[in-house]
Amino acid sequence: MTKGELSEIFTKFGEETRAWAISNAIVRARSIKPIETTTDLAKIVLAIGGKSKKVFQALRIAVNDELNSILEALPKALGLLKENGRLCVISFHSLEDRIVKKKFLEFEEKGMGRIITKKPIIPTEDEIEGNKRARSAKLRIFSAKGGSALG
């Protein structure tokens, strides 16, 4: 991948403010020797003050095409529900949550049902204390009008 492609991935999917510097460092390091392990990549990112978690997350989202998967899955899932069936989605990343929020609003505007959770349900402090990964979780719920509403 080029410096520009890497930078775009880190900016778009990792919301990394140092995307250009990280991309530059990766390209520079690759010109010296191949990056063969995740540790190699993490060291490059940390050396310039970036956050390796965001970089790995961005790469995972890009490689797995996760955001498009969500965009495709939501209408299909809604179409499988009976009237008043509930579509419950837990997101763990702000980009995912934004997509779910927009799709639910779109579904509601099209008369396909109604949003149950105007604001997402987030974990309590006790939940987070018991499970640190729950920290970024957001639950949104949509009630379907019925399969016929999908036309």
The pLDDT score that the predictor gives to residue 82 is: 93
pLDDT higher than threshold 80 for residue 128 = yes
Running DSSP on this structure, what letter comes out for residue 37?
S
Helices H / strands E in the chain, number of each: 7, 3
Sheet holding 113-115, edge to edge: 86-91, 138-144, 113-115
Q: pLDDT category, 51, cuts 50, 70, 90? A: confident
The pLDDT score that the predictor gives to residue 146 is: 62
List residues bridging with 144 in a β-sheet. 113
pLDDT tens, position by position, 105-122: 999 999 999 999 999 999
52/36 Cα distance (integer angstroms)? 15
pLDDT higher than threshold 80 for residue 39 = yes
pLDDT higher than threshold 60 for residue 129 = yes
Contact indicator for 16, 51 with CB cutoff of 8 Å: yes
With 0.85 as the threshold, say if the pTM is over it.
no
pLDDT higher than threshold 70 for residue 151 = no
